[in-house]
Amino acid sequence: MKIYPINTALKRDTAVILARLQALLREESSEAYIVGSIVRNLVAGHDRADIDIAVDGNALVIGKRLADKFNAHYVVLDDTFGVARLLPRDDDTWQIDIVTLQGTLEQDLLRRDFSINALAINMAQMQLQESSINATILDVCNGMQDLQNKTIRAASEQAFRDDPIRLLRGVRLSSELNFTIDEQTSALMQREHALISTASPERVREELLRLFALTDTYNSVVLMHHLGILAAIIPRLAPTLHMEQSTEHTWDVFHHSARSIDAFDFLCRRAGWEFYSADVLADVPWEDSVKSYFDTIVSPPATRLVLTKLAALLHDIAKPTTKIINDAGRIRFYRHAQQGAPIAAAILERLRFSHSEIKFIETIVRHHLHPVQLAEPGGTPSKRAVYRFCRDLEDAGIATLYFSLADHLATRGPNLESADWGWHAGIVRQIIDEYEKGTPPDKMPLLLDGNELQSEFGLKPGKQLGQLLEELREAQAAGEISTRQQGLDYIKKLLEESTLSSEAGAS
């Protein structure tokens, strides 16, 4: 075991938490070590208050006592191996995981995932000040050297068999840290890729969400494909590789889908897009309200932005089963969006995504072609078309608009036509403007309610009443009526037309 001294700055909040932990664990008369990612982050100069502690004792018992003293929430993560989590009851963002040492410290560290996480600090020996830590890092498998070389290397040959979720974590760490997976570890991951299908769906979901929250997701998706991990998680994606598309597409279905993820990050001002610069963004509206929309959490920790990127990966998943070559010899994928939506929903349900997450992604997949179908090429959508779009897509509307632009960029690649792009972006701007007004057309108060329609026209509750209210809202959203009397006249006309139509059918 190698030893490295460290003296580095700490945020005051982290120093306070570590000092309290050090004092409380001293009372427990148990050896305790800071382990895992926090040690790696301290070496790299990243101070994050996610703390992993390994104790030479019963972590569940010790963790419960610490939770009481911290006045924290206590969660048992693993009964078998003894893993507990402490979470704050207030708005603080720290998290403490406590695990029972498996054998000696060296044996425990060698069971960890990667060498850069197989590092430890003896808590009894560290010295803390208000804004710094002075300690000794214990390194059992050259993790410090791998940190210096920016390398992801498995801590042992058993790493992925011991915990298959590490296959995904290795890809995520490579992207998050901008490290390279070394050749032996890459070969090991490729050999063991099928193990990911045995990992719990909940943990796969968590790692996917963390991975898709990063930028440069395209390279991560391609890496997952190369290693075999992606097809093991989502087998329906495998046939999209090398699947030829119509002439306007630059890439096959798989690489188009992967490229659309990075194009979306580009449109959200999070990353570059290698084929175009900022001038392409000039046509795309971007306000604080739009950023806030994408930053909104649907189900912790999934934001709308991350879920839209997952929708990008899945949006063309039905193309392999819908591909035809028409009489003109052109490749077509009829109704692939409609057929792809339930396929995407089934995949996400299997991976234990929440109902609200699934609905959001399913809506984007089903309607990703909708924005460019709202008007004739070069034209603008009618107010009725805008209303129907807002009504049908609900809270996924803005995400679908921006993804449709990403889909456009990932279709044309380096061959973007400025006129088509400007027209498409104009449609997005028009609908975003409706949202920016404060009340989307599908949410505006009605001029008349159901009780008034029943009173004025002798109607009864039921399907007809609901249809008339919807017709009224659509006409109001289109600006065709704006007063109560106009609303009454409009409903009267609809009822008369319905009566005439019924009489004509009877005769």
Which pLDDT band holds residue 504 (cuts at 50, 70, 90)?
very low
- Res 47: pLDDT: 62
Residue 14 belongs to some domain of the structure: yes
* Residues 333 and 260 grouped into a single domain: yes
* Residues 257 and 363 grouped into a single domain: yes
pLDDT higher than 70, residue 282: yes
* Residues 347 and 453 grouped into a single domain: no
Give the Cα separation of 258 and 313 in Å (integer).
Answer: 6
Residue 51 belongs to some domain of the structure: yes
Q: Counting Cβ atoms within 10 Å, is residue 73 exposed (0-12), middle (13-18) or buried (19+)?
A: exposed
* Residues 137 and 263 grouped into a single domain: no
DSSP codes joined into one string, 372-438: GGSS-TT----HHHHHHHHHHHGGGHHHHHHHHHHHHHHHHGGG--HHHHHHHHHHHHHHHHHHHTS
* 92 or 384, greater pLDDT: 384
Domain that holds residue 421: 234-442
Domain total in the chain: 3
pTM listed for this prediction = 0.88
* 178 or 456, greater pLDDT: 178
* Residues 7 and 144 grouped into a single domain: yes
- Res 467: pLDDT: 83
Residue 198 belongs to some domain of the structure: no
- Res 470: pLDDT: 82
* Residues 407 and 495 grouped into a single domain: no
Give the Cα separation of 303 and 187 in Å (integer).
Answer: 33
- Res 442: pLDDT: 65
Residue 222 belongs to some domain of the structure: no
From 128, 149, 170, the end of a domain falls on 149
Q: Please name which of 230, 227, 248 lies closest in space to residue 239, comparing C-alpha atoms.
A: 230
* Residues 363 and 480 grouped into a single domain: no
- Res 11: pLDDT: 83
* Residues 452 and 438 grouped into a single domain: no
From 393, 419, 442, the end of a domain falls on 442
- Res 507: pLDDT: 44
Which pLDDT band holds residue 210 (cuts at 50, 70, 90)?
very high
Summary count for the chain: helices (H), strands (E): 24, 15
* Residues 353 and 405 grouped into a single domain: yes
Q: Residues 122-129: what's their mean pLDDT?
A: 92
Contact 424, 405 (CB under 8 A): yes
Summarize pLDDT for 319-359 with one digit per residue, the tens: 999 999 988 889 999 999 999 999 999 999 999 999 999 99
What ranges in 183-252 are assigned the alpha helix state H? 183-191, 201-212, 217-227, 229-233
From 401, 417, 442, the end of a domain falls on 442
Residue 206 belongs to some domain of the structure: no
Q: Residues 14-41: what's their mean pLDDT?
A: 89
Residue 484 belongs to some domain of the structure: yes
Average pLDDT, the chain: 91
CA distances from 372 to 29, 101, 368, 378 (A): 67, 58, 9, 10
* Residues 267 and 412 grouped into a single domain: yes
* 389 or 437, greater pLDDT: 389
* Residues 372 and 458 grouped into a single domain: no
Q: Name, in order, each residue with C-beta under 8 angstroms of 119's C-beta and a sequence gap of 6 or more.
A: 35, 36, 39, 40, 43, 109, 137, 138, 139, 143, 144
Residue 174 belongs to some domain of the structure: no
Portion of the chain with pLDDT greater than 70, in percent: 96
Q: Token digits for 297?
A: 């959490």
Summarize pLDDT for 437-477 with one digit per residue, the tens: 766 666 778 888 888 888 888 888 888 888 888 888 888 88
Give the Cα separation of 465 and 450 in Å (integer).
Answer: 7
* 263 or 27, greater pLDDT: 263
- What does DSSP say about strands 2-9 and 132-139: parallel, antiparallel, or unpaired? antiparallel
pLDDT higher than 70, residue 500: no
Contact 427, 408 (CB under 8 A): no
Q: CATH number of the domain at 71, please.
A: 3.30.460.10
- Res 177: pLDDT: 93
Tell me the chain's radius of gyration from C-alpha atoms. Answer: 28
Which pLDDT band holds residue 143 (cuts at 50, 70, 90)?
very high
Give the Cα separation of 103 and 48 in Å (integer).
Answer: 28
* Residues 430 and 462 grouped into a single domain: no
Residue 251 belongs to some domain of the structure: yes
